[in-house]
């Protein structure tokens, strides 16, 4: 696993020596990625802390490059945001997620959500409301099955306009979730003025909670205040059963992480859904 980790980081260095070339390479091959069918979504289960029940899935983008193999999103999304290809990619993600929702609904899965990550560029440069409305009607699904995840930094970038857009999107029944909470500069009191439904607490908060009472208290404080604001709380990056125990004692609603399940390939997620329906 040490060599796997190393490969992940040295991935592009072979033959392509500097960062500029690497970005250019990503940029040119990304142009063809959609038409060449190189993108896919994996689905990470989000579970209810109390009973391990399935609340839904977060859809995460994967790019399988014909020569380079799997290119991690943290490597190509920033490039796509810079050259605005994220607008096309984001539409592709929205379409694929809605198609998946339709198929799970028709399988008989009830009361679940699929969340997709939406970049700040999409929020501010695309007509996200219309795109979402079109995707929902294309697949004839209710907005209640869809959730969009946006970082607090993205919302605060052009706050007034972001709030207006998010409020409009919410009229479709789509839920809004704040991603990576705690990594930006905003405070819990700031959240009060935002039209949001879900708070995803960044995985950095999980680091010490199982052996440091103060860290667990900090997390507990965030959860308590978020709930007072009427938000659903989701802990990200839960890897250990000891962390899960703290989430129970601090009354966190939901959680996501390797402890429960890794992001699943589409067909594996399908099997997971079948199991849930069977119960």
Q: Interface with ligand C2E by CB under 6 A: which residues?
A: 44, 60-61, 72-74, 77, 93, 116-117, 119, 179-180, 203, 237-239, 256-258, 263
For Ca ion, which residue of 44, 85, 117, 120 counts as binding (CB under 5 A)?
A: 117
Neighbouring C-beta atoms of residue 227, cutoff 10 Å: 15
* Residue 79 or 109 with smaller CB distance to ligand C2E: 79
Question: Per rule CB under 5 A, is residue 119 in the interface with Ca ion?
Answer: no
∠ at Cα 183 (178, 188), nearest 5°?
Answer: 60
Least gap, CB of 94 to ligand C2E (angstroms): 9
Least gap, CB of 110 to Ca ion (angstroms): 24
**Which residue stretch of 78-86, 114-122, 160-168, 244-252 sits at the interface with Ca ion (rule: CB under 5 A)?**
114-122
Question: Per rule CB under 5 A, is residue 55 in the interface with Ca ion?
Answer: no
**Looking at the chain, which runs of residues are DSSP E strands?**
39-48, 54-65, 69-71, 113-117, 146-151, 175-181, 198-201, 232-235, 254-255
Helix residue spans in 108-212 (DSSP H): 120-125, 128-138, 152-157, 159-170, 188-191
Q: Which does 73 bind (CB under 5 to 8 A by kind): ligand C2E, Ca ion, none?
A: ligand C2E
* Residue 81 or 180 with smaller CB distance to Ca ion: 180
Pick from 246, 237, 187, 241: which is nearest to 216 by CA? 246
Q: Strand, coil or helix: what is 271?
A: helix
Question: Per rule CB under 5 A, is residue 147 in the interface with Ca ion?
Answer: no
Cβ contacts of 1 within 8 Å, gap of 6 or more: none
Q: Which does 93 bind (CB under 5 to 8 A by kind): ligand C2E, Ca ion, none?
A: ligand C2E
Cα–Cα distance, 132 to 137 (Å, whole number): 9
Least gap, CB of 139 to ligand C2E (angstroms): 17
Least gap, CB of 278 to ligand C2E (angstroms): 25
Least gap, CB of 150 to Ca ion (angstroms): 9
Q: Which does 258 bind (CB under 5 to 8 A by kind): ligand C2E, Ca ion, none?
A: ligand C2E
Q: Which does 44 bind (CB under 5 to 8 A by kind): ligand C2E, Ca ion, none?
A: ligand C2E
Least gap, CB of 183 to ligand C2E (angstroms): 9
Site for Ca ion in 148-177 (CB under 5 A): 149
Q: What is the 3-state secondary structure (H, E, C) of 88-133?
A: HHHHHHHHHHHHHHHHHHHHCCCCCEEEEECCHHHHHHCCHHHHHH
Question: Per rule CB under 5 A, is residue 179 in the interface with Ca ion?
Answer: yes
Q: Which does 253 bind (CB under 5 to 8 A by kind): Ca ion, ligand C2E, none?
A: none
Exposure string for 193-226, b = 16+ CB within 10 A, e = fewer: ebebebbbbbbebbebbbeeeebbebbbebbebb
* Residue 158 or 239 with smaller CB distance to ligand C2E: 239
Cα–Cα distance, 279 to 276 (Å, whole number): 5
Contact footprint for Ca ion (CB under 5 A): 117, 149, 179-180, 236
């Amino acid at each position: 696993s040490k060599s796997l980790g190393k490969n992940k980081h040295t991935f592009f260095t072979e033959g392509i020596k500097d960062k500029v070339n690497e970005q250019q390479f990503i940029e040119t091959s990304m142009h063809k990625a959609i038409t060449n069918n190189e993108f896919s979504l994996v689905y990470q289960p989000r579970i209810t802390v109390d009973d391990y029940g399935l609340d839904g899935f977060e859809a995460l983008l994967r790019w399988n490059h014909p020569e380079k193999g799997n290119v991690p999103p943290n490597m190509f999304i920033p490039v796509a945001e810079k050259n605005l290809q994220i607008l096309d990619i984001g539409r592709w993600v929205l379409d694929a997620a809605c198609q998946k929702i339709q198929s799970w609904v028709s399988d008989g899965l009830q009361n679940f959500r699929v969340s997709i990550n939406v970049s700040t560029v999409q929020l501010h440069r695309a007509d996200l409301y219309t795109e979402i409305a079109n995707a929902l009607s294309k697949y004839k699904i209710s907005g209640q099955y869809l959730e969009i995840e946006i970082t607090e930094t993205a919302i605060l970038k052009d706050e007034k306009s972001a709030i207006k857009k998010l409020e409009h999107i919410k009229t479709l029944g789509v839920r809004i979730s704040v991603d990576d909470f705690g990594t930006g500069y905003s405070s819990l009191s700031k959240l009060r003025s935002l039209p949001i439904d879900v708070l995803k607490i960044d995985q950095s908060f999980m680091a010490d909670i199982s052996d440091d009472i103060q860290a667990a208290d900090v997390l507990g404080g965030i959860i308590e205040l978020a709930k007072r604001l009427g938000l659903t709380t989701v802990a990200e990056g839960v890897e250990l059963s000891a962390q899960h125990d703290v989430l129970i004692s601090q009354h966190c609603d939901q959680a996501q992480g390797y402890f429960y399940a890794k992001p699943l390939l589409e067909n594996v997620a399908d099997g997971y859904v079948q199991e849930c329906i069977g119960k």
